[in-house]
């Protein structure tokens, strides 16, 4: 039992160190993440326990949004603490969830079929292939770059501990935050159908501020 505990403590300790490095590079994305999670929490608390209209389409969207919200903290932790293989799988699921919500809204969702990520705004779907490469550990170059250490004679050791990779961390975190913004839009649309009113003025201001941060950090581009 002690050996197992030591392993988990070792990974946790290194993950916290990676997080400190990651936070130094996220820039305005940190604020954007806090704003968007604040929008979600505000909306959820405001309508907690309040009955609204229902339909199969509304229920389906509600399930998808709830599944996304459940994984927000897990996804952020995997990215920020350097568990990039697991993080890629979680961000990929978030991307598919947003695509599925859009398909449900459009009436084209097919059960048991992977959602068409090309329906996701801001051309985020183009990153799907890269997420697959990391999540499915199918790209040898990525495995080598993230896990290999300096050769020691004829042996090329690998690390089991997460290591900070600025490029991958920022790409995954930026995509995660952009998908959070799309989730906020979806939540507002759901509330309009459920309750006849969407996000509040304050929630909209927070969402717009987060979008401005995403534009400044070049995660999404301003639509002229």
* Confidence (pTM): 0.90
Q: Crossing angle, helix 2-23 and helix 166-195, to 10 degrees?
A: 90
Token pair 């952009």: residue: 178
In a domain, residue 223? The reply is no
For residue 37, what are the domain limits? 12-47+55-216
* Extended strands (E) in 52-209: none
pLDDT at 114: 87
Residue 139 falls in which region: left (phi positive, over 0), alpha (psi -120 to 50) or beta:
beta
In a domain, residue 43? The reply is yes
What is the three-class DSSP state of 159? coil
User: Based on the structure, what is the number of domains in the chain?
Assistant: 1
pLDDT (tens digit, 9 = 90+) per residue, 30-87?
Answer: 999 999 999 999 999 998 888 888 899 999 999 999 999 999 999 999 999 999 999 9
Residue 115 falls in which region: left (phi positive, over 0), alpha (psi -120 to 50) or beta:
beta
pLDDT (tens digit, 9 = 90+) per residue, 128-179?
Answer: 888 888 877 766 666 666 666 555 556 667 777 889 999 999 999 999 999 9
Q: 155 pairs with which residues across the strands? A: 152
Q: State the average pLDDT over residues 111-135.
A: 88
Q: State the average pLDDT over residues 100-104.
A: 95
Handedness of CA 69, 70, 74, 75 (dihedral sign): negative
In a domain, residue 2? The reply is no
Residue 153 falls in which region: left (phi positive, over 0), alpha (psi -120 to 50) or beta:
left
pLDDT at 107: 86
In a domain, residue 166? The reply is yes
In a domain, residue 199? The reply is yes
What is the distance between the alpha carbons of residues 157 and 220, in angstroms, rounded to a whole number? 38
The structure tokens listed for 88 are 């890629």
In a domain, residue 1? The reply is no
Q: State the average pLDDT over residues 5-26.
A: 93
In a domain, residue 6? The reply is no
In a domain, residue 222? The reply is no
Query: For all residues of the chain together, what is the average pLDDT?
Result: 89
């Amino acid at each position: 039992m002690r050996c197992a505990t030591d392993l988990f403590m070792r990974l946790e300790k290194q993950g916290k160190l990676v997080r400190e490095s990651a936070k130094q590079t996220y820039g305005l994305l940190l604020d954007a993440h806090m704003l968007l999670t604040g929008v979600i929490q505000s909306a959820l608390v405001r309508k907690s326990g309040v009955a609204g209209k229902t339909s199969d389409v509304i229920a389906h969207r509600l399930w998808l949004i709830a599944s996304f919200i459940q994984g927000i903290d897990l996804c952020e932790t995997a990215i920020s603490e350097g568990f990039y293989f697991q993080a890629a799988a979680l961000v990929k699921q978030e991307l598919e969830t947003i695509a599925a919500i859009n398909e449900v809204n459009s009436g084209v969702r097919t059960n048991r079929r992977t959602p068409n990520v090309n329906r996701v705004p801001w051309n985020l779907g183009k990153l799907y292939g890269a997420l697959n490469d990391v999540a499915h550990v199918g790209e040898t170059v990525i495995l080598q770059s993230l896990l290999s250490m300096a050769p020691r004679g004829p042996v090329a050791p690998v690390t089991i501990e997460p290591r900070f990779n600025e490029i991958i961390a920022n790409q995954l975190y930026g995509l995660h935050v952009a998908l959070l913004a799309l989730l906020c839009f979806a939540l507002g649309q759901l509330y309009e159908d459920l309750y006849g009113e969407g996000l509040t003025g304050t929630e909209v201001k927070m969402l717009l501020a987060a979008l401005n941060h995403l534009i400044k950090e070049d995660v999404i581009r301003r639509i002229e």
